Amino acid sequence: MNGFITTILIISGVILLIAAVLTTFRLLDGPSSLDRLVALDTIIAVSMCGLAVWAAYSKDTTIVPAIVALALVGFIGSVSVARFRVSDQ
C-alpha cells in the first residue's frame, strides 16, 4: 500500500508541475492585466498544492504554516491589485 501512495503523490507532483508551466505561459502572454492576475493566483494555488503534496510525501507538518502564509499573501495581493488596477485601454 505504501508504494501505491508514493506513486500517487509523484503523479500529483508531475501534474502540478505541468500546470505551473502552462500557467506561466499565460502569465507571460496574458493580453490584459486581469488575465495576468488570474494566472498569478493560479500559480500561487498550484504552489500551495505542491507544498501540500510534499508535506504528505515527507510526512512533515512544519510546512503547513507556510501554506497558510502563502494563501494569505496571495489573497491580499489579489485584492490589492484588483482594487487599484488601472484600465488597459
Confidence of residue 81 (pLDDT cuts 50, 70, 90): confident
**Considering the chain, what percentage of its residues have pLDDT values greater than 90?**
61
Please give the grid coordinates belonging to residue 65.
Answer: 504554516
Q: Is the pLDDT of residue 88 over 70?
A: no
- pLDDT (tens digit, 9 = 90+) per residue, 27-54? 998 788 788 888 999 999 999 999 999 9
Q: What are residue 86's phi and psi, to 5 degrees?
A: -95, 155
Task: Determine the Cα–Cα distance for residues 48 and 67; give it in Å rounded to an integer.
Answer: 6
Entry pTM: 0.84
Task: Determine the Cα–Cα distance for residues 73 and 80; give it in Å rounded to an integer.
Answer: 11
Task: Judge whether 13 and 50 are in contact, CB under 8 Å.
Answer: yes
> What is the 8-class DSSP label of residue 60?
-
What is the model's pLDDT at position 14?
A: 95
